[in-house]
Amino acid sequence: MDENIVELNIAIGGISKELLDVQKALDAYREKQKRKEAVDEEAMTFVTKAELVIQKAENGDLQLTTDQIRRIKSNLVKILQRLQK
C-alpha cells in the first residue's frame, strides 16, 4: 500500500511540474504583453511547453482533466493567432 502512495505522489508531482511550467510560460508572456514589450520569445516558450503537455495528455503519459486540456488549448490558440498577425 505504501508503494502505491509513493507512486501516486510521484505521478502528482510530475503533473504539477508540467502544469506549473506551462503556467509560468503563460505568465511571462502576459507580463511582457502588458508592458508592450516584444513577446515572441515568451510566446514560443509557452507554445512549445503547451504543445508538449497536450501531447503527453493525449498519449496518456500525463493525466489531466478535460477542463485543464481545454484551457491550455484555448490559450495556445489565442497566442498562435497573435503570432500570425
Amino acid occupying residue 23: Q
Write the pLDDT tens digit of every residue in 47-79.
Answer: 999 999 999 989 988 888 899 999 999 998 988
pLDDT of residue 11: 72
More confident residue, 11 or 40: 40
Instruction: Supply the pLDDT for residue 1.
Output: 60
Task: Tell me how far apart the alpha carbons of residues 41 and 28 are, in angstroms, rounded to a whole number.
Answer: 10
* Residue 19 CB contacts under 8 Å (≥ 6 apart), including other chains: 53, 64, 68
Tell the residue number behind the cell numbers 498519449, with chain if given: 59
pLDDT tens string 1-18: 677 777 777 777 778 888
Instruction: Spell out the domain ranges in the chain.
Output: 2-84
How far apart CA 32 and CA 38 sit, in angstroms, is 7
